[in-house]
Amino acid sequence: MRVVILGSGRGSNAGAILAAQQEGRLGEARVVQIFADRPEAPILALGARFGVPAQFLDPGPFKTKFDEAGETRYLDAIRACAPGLIVLAGFMRILKPRFIAEHPQKIINLHPSLLPSFPGLDAIGQAWRRGVKITGCTVHEVTCEVDGGPILDQTAVRIEPDDTLETLEARVHAAEHALLPAVIARLSHSRAAGP
């Protein structure tokens, strides 16, 4: 299963995926390309480190979505990779229906809460301020409803009495780094097996 990763930031989840691949824990999946929507995004450095092509693709002038030309650039570049799976790993853009329709049930996202609780931005901070006792992370299919697609798997993280927001963030990120490669590996086996 050919995997394309889209990211915007430091790439810690992409790094976890690539480390799992290097260690033989990604099942039948193989990352074939990383695309970033910011030319200075640290995720791009993972390409050289792990021997995977990585490049900046101009998304257009908007901060949280594509313009039409940017969307076309991404769709053309992704199509050329012939992916079986597209992983949003800290990709901070909302995908439009055209993008999703071209890759039905092939786009997954990692969100740092137990969806449907705390969708949107700053999910860990939302959970922290709300005073919940358990939060976590979710891998879900991407649909036109932001953070609303079918849930593929979740990991719970208990908020301890001595946690700070920083320690909670670190523990949620550690859970993400385990969950996302495991879901990709599982999908690679189920899709290889067919219906």
Catalytic positions are 111
**What backbone torsions phi and psi does residue 106 show, to the nearest 5 degrees?**
-120, 5
> Between the CA of residue 124 and those of 7, 63, 82, 131, what are the distances in Å?
19, 21, 34, 11
54 neighbors 44 (Cβ within 8 angstroms): yes
| Cβ-based burial of 76 (10 A; exposed 0-12, middle 13-18, buried ≥19) | exposed
